[in-house]
Amino acid sequence: MSASRFGFTRTAGDGLARAGRVSTAHGEYATPAFMAVGTAATVKAMTPGTLRAAGCEIVLANTYHLMLRPGAERVQRLGGLHEFMNWPGPILTDSGGFQVMSLAKLRTVTEAGVKFQSHLDGAVHELTPERAVEIQRCLDADITMVLDECPPAEMTGSDLAASVERSMRWAERSKQAFDARAGYGLFGINQGGVDERLRADSAAALKGVGFDGYAVGGLAVGEGQEAMFRVLDAVVPELPEAAPRYLMGVGKPDDLVGAVMRGIDMFDCVLPTRSGRTGQAFTSRGAVNIRNARHGDDARPLDGACDCAVCTGYSRAYLNHLNRADEILGAMLMTQHNLHYYQSLMRFMRAAIETGRMTDFAAAFAAEQARGDIDTL
């Protein structure tokens, strides 16, 4: 596949799980892929060099935050997001729908779009499907997301149906506003809460419009893993085989494994970076709170099975000291390890799919996680 066009190539499959590559204007990335979240044009506590060293191939930035500061047109004048943040690889930008729901004040949703007050200064802004696409074009995002309404988990019945129908109309308007260019793609977003009929209707509407990729939104908002997997079981088979499938905002390691088993190709979540800043590490034996006093005299690495620069260069005792002393380096090292762990998990799953061992991998992963952070790590 030429890197000059946007597209997905499936390279292997094992059951519903699949491995592949996505080609964009700024290079390729392997799937299943985990995107580090760089909401405001930075992955917190990381430099582009440490991101690359951790194995990151694609990062995510956010329309809502960047439209508020420094402004999309300013980023455009400064050469676009890749130049602005010194990240030469692919970038996906979320359209801001979730942030409008979760952060903005006094939001009003109409057919035209959404008016809201900024959580920063209270200024009133309007985000329409057309403006969301325009902002992402200014940012020079390789992957643009349609504007959707992210309904709260408690929304049901006719209110949820009306929200989904409006999001599908917004998706069509986003497609009309999108300037198709070589190497750039537009993803639709499936909505419907945990209502499988609405999810199927949403998938059919998105396929009718036609997109370069298809996201599943509105999950990981409190419905629980069992309900999330039930939705994926119902909706993923309704999404086109030839396009990448993206589960938005989902990032617990066992969620990732279960979703890959159900045919998901792409993920993003703030969990590994946010946890790194608060002293939580993800390891092959589950989560570790490095601030616990028991780590103060522990000369072992965070994860004896990990080959990252943190695990090969620093002890738990030192990381415990940095975090308890609130030293910036503690957040940097913990974040670096967590992103390396997530990228390694993706790499291991790709290898398992390519060799037909994904079911065995999932079982071994669950068994190791269940053992916990025992002294024989």
- Categorize the per-residue pLDDT at 97 as very low, low, confident or very high, splitting at 50, 70 and 90: confident
pLDDT score of 1: 36
pLDDT score of 301: 97
pLDDT score of 2: 39
pLDDT per residue over 318-332, tens digit each?
999 999 999 999 999
The answer to whether residue 375 scores a pLDDT higher than 60 is no
C-alpha angle 236/345/238, rounded to 5°? 5
- From the candidates 195, 212, 265, 268, give the one annotated as an active-site residue: 268
- Categorize the per-residue pLDDT at 42 as very low, low, confident or very high, splitting at 50, 70 and 90: very high
pLDDT score of 3: 46
Share of the chain above pLDDT 90, in %: 92
Query: What mean pLDDT value characterizes the chain?
Result: 95
Q: Could you confirm whether 268 is annotated as catalytic?
A: yes
pLDDT per residue over 131-162, tens digit each?
999 999 999 999 999 999 998 888 999 999 99
Which domains are seen in the chain, by residue range?
Answer: 7-269 (3.20.20.105), 276-360 (no CATH)
The answer to whether residue 357 scores a pLDDT higher than 90 is yes
- Categorize the per-residue pLDDT at 368 as very low, low, confident or very high, splitting at 50, 70 and 90: very high
| CB contact burial 119-131 (16+ within 10 A = b; e otherwise) | eeeeeebebbbbb
- From the candidates 14, 94, 142, 373, give the one annotated as an active-site residue: 94
Q: Averaged over 3-23, what is the pLDDT?
A: 93
Cβ-contact 189, 167 below 8 angstroms: yes
pLDDT score of 376: 44
Which pTM value belongs to this model?
Answer: 0.96
pLDDT score of 374: 62
Q: Could you confirm whether 94 is annotated as catalytic?
A: yes
Q: How would you classify residue 45: left for phi > 0, otherwise alpha for psi between -120 and 50, otherwise beta?
A: left
The answer to whether residue 273 scores a pLDDT higher than 60 is yes
Q: Averaged over 300-320, what is the pLDDT?
A: 98
Look at residue 324 and give its three-state secondary structure.
helix
Residues linked to residue 300 through DSSP beta bridges, in sequence order: none
Q: CA–CA separation, 188 vs 25, rounded Å? A: 19
